[in-house]
Structures are given as structure tokens and as C-alpha cells.
Structure 1
Amino acid sequence: MKRITIYDVAKEADVSLATVSRVINGSEVVREDTRVKVQEAIEKLGYKPNAIAQGLALQKTTTIALIVPEASFFYTGQIINGLIDVAKIYKYNIVLHTATEGIIEMNDIIETIIKSRVDGVVIFNDKLSKNELNTLTRYQVPIVVIGNKMSDDTIGSVYVDYSKLVYDFTTKYLNKGITDIALVEDRKNPAMIKQLFDGISRAFADAGKSFDNYIEIPKDYRSSYLFLQEYFKSHKHELVITYRDSQAMAVLNTAAENNIRIPEDMEVVCILDSKYNAMARPQISGFKIPDYDLGAVAMRVMTKMLHDEDEVIDKEIELSYIYSPRKSTK
């Protein structure tokens, strides 16, 4: 079947290509009778304007760039689904950029984004420095950050307050008299670990205590598992908090190898819940994060920033979470 083009519409309506382009892009310089004639030709032929060509005429690309750190890619599936579903509603295209630490420099990604003339940028987690964010804001490119709370004239954010989450959780344990609480370092997610560390430290401070059990993974160990094998030979805590499921499983396995029973001798909690937590033995307690909603709401914030809607735009939107207790806690 022949693809209908703008040339076919111009021929059918007996007008110039420029006139068809003006009608498609809502120009007010076209006479009403001519506009009706072009619109009738479009409907008769079933012509669908090319989004990219239409965007260029409007100095817009109808494209949103999404930056996802490669280390976090496994956890972003539902976030991307939510973002794409809302993007479809508002007729935006999504172009994915992955950032690989030490291989693909963030400045290179930013330069590519600016050259491609995208309408906006969505970033999963704050992997950009303030200077790099300022590079984008100088070009007046709207940005929505998923994961961290931050905003200004051209930056919005959709996030879960992990610091408050772990603060509330730690406080409950401290109120029960459980003070031997440890946090395992995650070298792949330093920004997130800082939030968790700050939340736990604040809970201890409010209880008149100091938090001292931060389990750092030495750089000469290739994985948390290898270090924890040695660590639990001489250490045991009442509660161990990890960020990712793989680290929680490393704690379970290395504890078992050292005859530490879960949860009788030591409880384990994984902040970022996943389907694998329910597959582990014992099943791992965790927090269900609204990942689909993070993507969907981020895209909705972006559309509001792009279209300058009359309503006041809330550029810092906090989403809630649900604690899922399982067999790794008492």
C-alpha cells in the first residue's frame, strides 16, 4: 500500500507544500477556507504527519531523552514502562541513553542530547554533578530527575524519600531496644547509600546514640559476597540493612556459611524489593517502591514543564512505599 505523503495532500487540495505545512503546524496565517480544504484532503487521504518533521517546523523534536546508568538498568524496567505509557498519550518519543561509569562520560551524553535538540531530559537517579546539570539548564532544556529530590526553574524531580524510609524503619527497631544495626555499603550506588546512611544516623542521633556499624567493602574485594564471607566469621548484628537484592542474598548465604541463623540470630532487610527477594530462602523482607508510577509521574511533570500549563507546577513530587515483611525478619 502506497504511503501517503505531504505531496499527495498538497496535490489533492491544490495548494503549495508550504501551505499544507502551515495548516499541519497550526499557523494562523492561512485563510479559513484554505485550512478547511487542506484538512479535508488530509482526512480523505488518511495522511498522518511525521512527528519529527512536524517537530522541526515547530523548533521541537517531540522527543524526550532518558538517561539510565548502566549499573541501575536492571531495576528500571517498570520505570521505563510508566514513562513510555504517558509519553504515548502526549505523543512524545523516548530516546534512551545509557551511562557507563568510566567508559561513557556524562559530558559526552549531554553534548549528544543538546545536539539532537530534544525537548526535555529525564534522568534516573542523580548521576549528574551540579555542573553537568547546569550545562543543560544553560540551554533551557527541562529536566526531571527520578530518584532524588531537587528542583529549580528548569529542573523537577519525582522520588521516594529513602532517607525518611530508613529513618522510620530504624526508629521502630531502636524503640524495641534493638541497637546493633548495620548497613552494607553498595559501591555501585553511592548516592543511594548516602541517603540510607544519613537516615540511619539521624535515627540514632534522635535516640541519643551514634551509628557505628557501616560495613564498608574494601576496594581489593571484587564483590560484597567475598568480603562478607570473611566478615561474618567474626561479626554478627541484630539487623543488617542492604540496598539491593543481590547484597541481601550475599548476607543470607555468608551468614549461613558461618552458622548465623536468619532471622533468629540476625535479621536482614533489603530496601529495594524485587521478585528475587520472594524466591530466596528465607524470603527477604523489603520495601515495595512504586517504580511504574515513578516513570509515569516523571513524564507527566515533564509535559507540564514543556507546555507551561497555567496551573502551578509541583516540581518536587514524593511517592510512598509499602513495607513487605517476610521470613528474614522476626
Structure 2
Amino acid sequence: MEKQTITIYDVAREADVSMATVSRVVNGNPNVKPATRKKVLEVIDRLDYRPNAVARGLASKKTTTVGVIIPDVSDIYFASLARGIDDVATMYKYNIILANSDENNQKEVQVLNTLLAKQVDGLIYMGHSISDAIRAEFARSKTPIVLAGSIDPDEQVGSVNIDYVAAVKDATLKLIKNGNEKVAFICGNLEFPINSKYRLRGYKDALNEAGIPYDESLIFETEYSYSAGEALFGKVQAIGATAAVVSDDELAVGVLNAAVDAGVNIPTDFEIVTSNNTKLTEMVRPKMTSISQPLYDMGAVGMRLLTKMMNKEEIDDKTILLPYSIVDRQSTK
């Protein structure tokens, strides 16, 4: 026999109270006599009644659900952001639907529309870039949207980040001050604004300040993977670079291990600064110096910004920059 869905009506009938009373108990409303509350809770327990979030949403026109679009759920960087989002969501009693977009533009649009069809109250979008197609969907949708660890160069959408220009500038200057004239810049797709308009600008600003001419041959554009980093080191070495700023930790580990395998001494002969300070930086030997982003806080502040937007509260600034630092380990002198 199929298990019948227990409704609020069944609970009210069994407990011999009104449906409004059951609703008050379920929603933690204090205006219920303790004896009545106890009786209703016992019935709820016995019947295994679970309030229907969708039905509750229909009544209040809110589903109390937030959609989170993440490019790669297995990436430590995005997983750390998601933790911060989830903790604040729980605090404000929102449920999260996590969707993986595989960093694929078509799939991003599909995933976004699936979440909007589920009537989510808000969306948090993480990804290395915002495609024109996704931007058009954002504009069409009436749903509040916040970017976490994603950049909107036009600042139309609320976002939480660090100052990537300043962070990469600091990292590059650190390597130049250590005596490296030829610093390689290893990053992901330069079509992504976060790489071209922010990180690369920081790198160029540092060269400019140090009076070193910009050399196109020191820029290496690749995919974010360990094997890509491993494959790249030979080319970086061949061009005569003695240091590198790398925009992704897994990529940086590939570069580091390839250097060590080639008998290069780190940091004496080659220095590396990576960008995300995920736990990978401490799992390798030598441990890697990194720009540190408050990932958990970025997720948490992003979610808090979204709750304000969903509740139509006053917002001072939609573009929020959190502080970063550079954590010194053994991959730099």
C-alpha cells in the first residue's frame, strides 16, 4: 500500500484543533497554549507529518528556496564559498538547491531556467565569467541575483569579491622585489573578464610600478587543471621566467610538481605565488605562497546580500569587496 501524504488537515483532525493552530505550532508562533502545542507536536510526530514547503510557498508567494549555480562542485574553491552560503541560508531559514553548470554556457542557461521554473526566491551565481546569454537571462528575470566570487564588470548585478587587481599586483610585486625580472603570468581563459580586466591588469600595474616592460610571451593562458600546469612548466622555463603568478591552485600544483620533477629548486631557482589559498596549498611540498580570499565570508556575505534583496531592504552598495591577504609559505624566498 502506498504511503498516503499526511496533510495539515489530518493533524488538525487528530489533535482536535483548528488548522490555524497547527500552522502556528509548525511555524513556531508563540500564541499557542503549552498543552495544545504539546498535543499537536505529539500528533505530528505520530503521523510523521512534514509541512509541504511548496504549499507553504504558494500561500506566502515565497518558496523560501535559493538557487545556487556552481561551475564545478568538486572544486575546493567553489565548495568553500558554498559552505558560507549554506550557513547563512540556514540562519535565515532558506533552503538551497545546488546546481552544477560544468562551466558550459549552454548548460548555465538551462540550469538557470530550471531553477527559475522551481520558483526560487533568489539566485547566487558562481562562475568564472558571465556569458551574454546568461546576462540576458539575468536581465529578463525578476528574481534577485547575487554573484559570489564572480565578476560583473558592468556592475549591474550584486557581487561579493576581493579586489583582484590589487591582489595580483601585490603578488607580482612580491616576486619582482625578490629579484625576479621575468615573472610569468599563468591564468585561465583570457576571454573571462576576471582574468583579462582584473588579474592581468594587476600584473601589468606591478610591472609598470617596477619599471619592467610588459612582455606578451610571459603570459600563459590555459585550462584550470593539474595536468595543464604540469604540461606548461617546460614552456615557462624555456622562456627564461624565474617566477610565476598562477590564478588557480590546482594549476599551480601542476606547475610546482613539474618543476620539482625537472630538478628545479623551489624557491631558490623558481618562485610561485598562487591565488585561492585552498587546502591544496598546504598539501604540497614545498607549501605554496598564496593570495588568500575569505572564501567562506564571500559566500556568507553574498547570501546575506541576497536576503536583503529578497526582502526589498535598503542596500548601500551592491558591489562588495572583502579584504584579502598574501600568505607566505615555502614557494617564495
- TM-score range relative to shorter protein: 0.7 to 0.9
Deviation at 1:70, TM superposition (A): 2.0
Q: How far apart are the structure 2 equivalents of 1:14 and 1:71?
A: 46
What is the number of residues matched between the two proteins?
314
- Superposed, which structure 2 residues align to 1:260-299 within 5 Å? 260-299=264-303
Structure 1 residue 102, shift from structure 2 partner: 4.6
- 1:221-267 per-position Cα deviation (integer Å, ceiling 9, x unaligned): x73322423552x3332321112223222222332344432111221
Match of 1:318 among 302, 321, 325: 321
The answer (yes or no) to whether the contact 1:9–1:42 under 8 Å persists in 2 is no
Once superposed, what is the RMSD of the aligned Cα atoms? 3.6
3-state SS of 2:110 partner: helix
Q: Deviations over 1:69-119 (max 9, x none)?
A: 027733222221211111111111000110124596222112212211110
Distance 1:36 1:102 in 2: 50
Higher mean C-alpha displacement, 257-266 vs 283-292: 257-266
The question of whether the paired residues in 2 share the 8 Å contact of 1:241 and 1:268 is answered with: yes
Q: Against the structure 1 CA distance between its residues 128 and 21, is the aligned structure 2 distance closer, same or farther, given a 3 Å change threshold?
A: farther
Q: Are residues 151 and 211 of structure 1, via their aligned partners in 2, closer, same or farther at CA, if it must alter by over 3 Å?
A: closer
- C-alpha deviation, 1:37, in angstroms: 7.8
- Change over 3 Å in CA distance of 1:10–1:279 after alignment to 2: closer
Contact 1:24–1:49 (8 Å) recurs in 2 = no
Please state how far the C-alpha of 1:318 moved relative to its aligned partner: 1.1
Cα distance in 2 for partners of 1:231, 1:36 equals 70
Change (3 A) 1:246 1:114: closer
Provide the residue aligned with 1:229 in structure 2: 234
- TM-score using structure 1 length: 0.80
Give the TM-score normalised by the residue count of structure 2.
0.80
CA 1:172–1:275: 2 relative to 1, 3 Å: closer
Q: Does the 8 Å CA contact 1:9/1:38 hold for their aligned counterparts?
A: no
1:1-330 matches, within 5 Å, as: 5-8=7-10, 10-11=12-13, 12=15, 15=18, 44-46=39-41, 49-70=51-72, 73-102=75-104, 105-150=107-152, 155-174=157-176, 178-187=180-189, 190-194=192-196, 195-212=198-215, 213-217=218-222, 223-232=228-237, 234-309=238-313, 311-330=314-333
Amino acid at match of 2:268: E
Q: Which stretch has the larger CA shift, 268-277 or 65-74?
A: 65-74
Q: Name the CA distance, whole Å, in 1 between partners of 2:332 and 2:145.
A: 39
1:136: Cα distance to partner? 2.9
* Counterpart-to-counterpart distance in 1, 2:115 and 2:261: 49
Shift of 1:317: 1.5
Identity of aligned residues (%): 32
**Matched-pair contact (CA < 8 Å) for 2:151–2:194:** no
Partners of 1:172 and 1:303 in 2: CA distance: 39
Q: CA deviation at 1:189?
A: 9.4
Question: What corresponds to 1:32 in structure 2?
Answer: none
Question: How many Å separate the matches in 1 of 2:134 and 2:255?
Answer: 36
> What's the counterpart of residue 30 of structure 1?
none
Between 312-321 and 56-65, report the one with greater CA deviation.
312-321
Task: Give 1:133 shift.
Answer: 2.6
3-state DSSP class of the match of 1:255?
A: helix
Moved more, 235-244 or 41-50: 41-50
Q: 1:61 to 1:243 in 2, by over 3 A?
A: same
Whole-Å Cα distance in 2 between the matches of residues 50 and 283 of structure 1? 49
Q: How far apart, in 1, do the equivalents of 2:252 and 2:32 lie?
A: 66
CA distance, structure 1, for counterparts of residue 246 and residue 90 of structure 2:
36
CA shift in 2, pair 1:36/1:207, >3 Å: closer
Structure 1, unaligned stretches of length 5 or more?
27-34
| 1:215 partner letter | F
Determine the C-alpha separation between the residues in 1 that align with 2:103 and 2:174: 37
Please name the residue that 2:47 is paired with.
none
Q: C-alpha deviations, 1:172-197, integer Å up to 9, x for none?
A: 44456643211113359944432321
Q: Which amino acid aligns with 2:285?
A: R
Is the Cα–Cα contact under 8 Å of residues 80 and 295 in structure 1 kept in the other structure? Answer: yes
Q: Which runs of 5+ in 2 are unaligned?
A: 45-49
Equivalent residues of 2:84, 2:296 under 8 A apart: yes
